Structure 1
Amino acid sequence: MEMIVGLSIAGFVALVIIGVLIRVAHKRLVKRAIASRFPEYVKVNVPDDEGKNAYYRVEITDLERMLSRILGDRMLDFSIINKREISGQGQFGIVYRAEMKGRDVAVKTIKTSEGCTEDQLSEFLQEGLLMKDFDHPNVLNLIGVALHDDIPHFVVPYMANKDLKEYVRDPEKRITVRHLMGLCLQVAHGMAYLADQKFVHRDLAARNCMVSADIVVKIADFGLSRDIYSETYYRITDHSKPLPVRWMAIESLVDGKFSSMSDVWSFGILSWEVMTRGGFPYADIDSYMLKALIISGHRPDKPEYCPQQLYIVMWDCWHLDPYERPTFPEIAADISNILGLNEDLRSSFSTFSGSSFDTLYESNVRGHSELHIDDNYLSPKNQGDLKQKHQNIPRINLKNKKDEPPLQSPLTRFHRDSAGQPRYSTFGTNSTFGRNARNYNAMSGDVRDLNPYYRTEFQTFR
């Protein structure tokens, strides 16, 4: 009897050991299969002891040590992250809704089933690491990074209302014109912060701004958007990087130059998206034709419910000369003036939620603004056709008809002489405004790029 019991126990232990060995072997096979779809090295851009950028090419197996040095206590243990559901995905990237220590978070990573190239993994890693320095209510910040099978998982706050494009297009959302303008103002505040930090975004659009549960807009730079919103991106050549041409400034399209002033152009398009509740810029124009049409002067038409003063701000953002465009602090001031916000409210507006905006407006704004803003709730349905027809896109002409006054704004860019010819105002490149604009130039060496091109030579990480 004792022998039978002993054999039974031995058999059970043997089965357990075999099961453990099979599980370990399976994990190794899975890990090996995943590793075969991912590069052995990744490029990392980190500041050195002197604060200058240092570029490293790191073995993927050594990535945890590198990230621990960069992130410190924001290097997370993957076991504390409890994935719940997929909230967005594309061909290569995926975003999960998850829980971490009782807090709702979003986790962004690369699909293990697809794999990626060294450059794709390097860009993904760089985009995530850039968020670690952000500290502004209207810019998405990084909670931490966890590694699983040597693949980075970036943890950020969960945005219950998803991206700004999806938020404004939702017909169930009760949104007024001043709510839409408030969303634009939050983006302007966030971009003013990024410009002050000498960050160039390159891809500012409604799809790249997230909206929290209490309607606080946070600028993000999810490279995943190039994957999910593939119809909004276009390759200039067959082998080039996909570019958001419908949001790009003229100098970016023609010369490949990016700066905070090209971000200003993109902000104008974003504002148009918001005020149309999710319209698609130049919807009936093929991407192949778009560059020539923009060069010739075509711009999006004024949205039906957009106040004329705000459309003038958009128009200023689309000035051909980057140095004649307003800076983001000036844009924020202009929109605040249109809304009638006083000085005390302007500095804290970025944290006002949409749900509290009506109370704020009634108690502090109404009656103090010279602008009449339609108080009726708008929906995408009563906005009319969101896809502009080609023939309805106005051609910007500097010459006004004799019976029309010149277009004016708080920062008027040009006047007309007696013959009707454009005569540029004092806001030239030698003015204070021009000097400020030059400070935003991305060509200066100390500007940090949210979408950096990787260098060909890298240091060895030790």
Structure 2
Amino acid sequence: MNLTIFADIPKNCYFTIFDENGTYFSITDKSINSLQISFDSVEFVIDFVSYNDSAEWTGFLVVIEGHRISPPNDTIIHVVHKPGGLKEWLIIGLSSVGLIVAIVVVGLITRHQLEKRYKKFDQLCNVLKGMRVSPEEIVEMKEKSDELLILPNKIHINFDYSFGQGSSSTVYKGHLMGTAPLHLIEKSIVTQRFMDCDVAVKAATHFGPDEVERLFKEIGAMKKIGYHENVMCMLGWALPEETPCLVYDIAEMSVLSFVSDFREKPDDQVPCKKFLSILWQVTRGMQYIASKGIIHRSLSARNILLFGPTVAKISYFTNCCFCGSENFMVKDLTVKKLSAKSMALESLTEKIFSEKSDIWAFGILAYEMFTFGKAPYEALNDDEILEFLNQGNRLERPSNVNDQLYEVMMDCWNADPDSRPTFKVLEKTFFEIVEIKNELYGYVQTNIYNI
């Protein structure tokens, strides 16, 4: 199929052509005169979308020459625009080549369909109104979310390529067209690579009030965090269909998968220094997160992701919470869906969360890594875990952990939160243990942005 395009597209207006594989061609803020493009397709869609209410379109002309379209009415053209004071006109020209006539059906989207497409975000906010969220919080969530929103025509999701599926979401491979909202916010050298790139797209398996709450919580956390080399930062979020999707950089694997590969290998093949380097990077990322007043609450081996051979990033902020600047702790009586195996003693008994409860989880993370993915307290249920800890018991020392490292882990599991170290102290400790300055520090810092 050959298309000849004449168009004058204002700023913040988008002229996009989709074929069966996703976005084929897209322009904005540009005039084109007799541009010719060709592709093999029996179906395509033209979206003419405006996010600029003051713009006046001069229109566009598309001449279609089809060499083979079967059946004829599989080819569809439609025009979509966001309502708001626009003057527009549209001409579509058709021609045929040889004996085969290209028959095109022009479909205009009804007002009801337009409103449905562009009010999805408002529908998400309406769900929040039925929950315990104040109007002020909804407005704040919307403002944060708007900045990270990716337009539907800027993201293509390959639903046939899945990185993995969890209990509440599936992660697919996708492709981002244009610049990620994260880079538009940060405008830094290290985020400029998030342009026209492959991405990981997390879509909820089910969608309801709980998913809406987690969506806005994660968006809020990502907006507050911005960018850090040891934090899995969200590039943006999108509403390509009815279900919102979160867009991330693509990781190679989780730390849980990485360490599990060494279960059957001899001790001399276990890269203990790399294990320690990962823990050091986690302390760096968690120190940054804590400085933003964020409590992670789900720190574990499965939620640390690896990028290339050296870089570890903290992910999964669905269960995070925000603490004030007064006492840097939160009492959350409504907590749910948290793993008791990683929860601090005060979190289990009093529902109190702080940086120090994340410190406890960090000790559990170290245990998971050096036992090659063994589940902590694997023989105990939640009630038995609490009784076990209240009696002063703690997890046993893994066979490949020396006295110095086990002492650090035990410090993380101190019953008194004030007696536990901070992530700033732990970063210094692991820096010294792994001798980062001489062996790994320069390598990690040099290559961390090139993965």
TM over 0.5, yes or no? yes
Pairing 1:105–2:199 present: yes
For the residue of structure 1 that corresponds to 2:352, the secondary structure is: coil
2:298/2:319 contact within 8 Å kept: no
Distance 1:330 1:40 in 2: 41
Alignment partner, residue 56 of structure 1: 138
Distance 1:128 1:149 in 2: 18
Give the residue type in structure 2 aligned to 1:43: L
Alignment partner, residue 212 of structure 1: 307
Distance 1:155 1:13 in 2: 35
- Superposed, 1:49-88 pairs within 5 Å as 54-56=136-138, 66=142, 70-72=145-147, 74-84=148-158, 85-88=161-164
Change (3 A) 1:23 1:86: farther
Give the residue type in structure 2 aligned to 1:55: E
Pairing 1:287–2:372 present: no
2:217/2:318 contact within 8 Å kept: no
Alignment partner, residue 353 of structure 2: 258
2:172/2:202 contact within 8 Å kept: yes
- Superposed, 1:4-19 pairs within 5 Å as none
Pairing 1:192–2:287 present: yes
1:137/1:350 contact within 8 Å kept: no
* Alignment RMSD (CA, Å): 4.0
Q: 1:291 offset after TM fit, Å?
A: 0.6
Q: 1:91 offset after TM fit, Å?
A: 4.0
| Number of residues of Structure 1 aligned to a counterpart in Structure 2 | 307
Distance 1:140 1:315 in 2: 28
- Superposed, 1:238-317 pairs within 5 Å as 241-317=336-412
Pairing 1:168–2:262 present: no
Change (3 A) 1:352 1:268: farther
Pairing 1:157–2:231 present: no
Q: 1:169 offset after TM fit, Å?
A: 0.9
Give the residue type in structure 2 aligned to 1:106: A
TM-score by length of 2: 0.59
Q: 1:96 offset after TM fit, Å?
A: 1.1
- Superposed, 1:23-38 pairs within 5 Å as none
Task: Report which of the two has the higher share of helix.
Answer: 1
Distance 1:341 1:329 in 2: 16
Q: Which runs of 5+ in 1 are unaligned?
A: 1-10, 45-52, 226-236, 357-462
Distance 2:319 2:419 in 1: 32
Change (3 A) 1:95 1:129: farther
Pairing 1:134–2:226 present: yes
Distance 1:153 1:270 in 2: 28
Distance 1:349 1:328 in 2: 22
Q: 1:15 offset after TM fit, Å?
A: 10
1:83/1:96 contact within 8 Å kept: yes
2:296/2:319 contact within 8 Å kept: no
Distance 2:393 2:201 in 1: 40
Change (3 A) 1:90 1:321: same
Distance 1:213 1:276 in 2: 23
Change (3 A) 1:299 1:22: farther
TM-score by length of 1: 0.58
Distance 1:82 1:14 in 2: 21
Q: 1:82 offset after TM fit, Å?
A: 2.5
Pairing 1:121–2:212 present: yes
Name whichever of 191-200 and 265-274 sits farther off.
Answer: 191-200
Q: Indicate the structure whose relative CO is greater, using CA pairs within 8 Å and at least 6 residues apart.
A: 1
Task: Report which of the two has the higher share of strand.
Answer: 2
Pairing 1:320–2:412 present: no
For the residue of structure 1 that corresponds to 2:251, the secondary structure is: coil
For the residue of structure 1 that corresponds to 2:137, the secondary structure is: strand
Q: Which runs of 5+ in 2 are unaligned?
A: 1-70, 78-102, 130-134, 178-195, 321-332
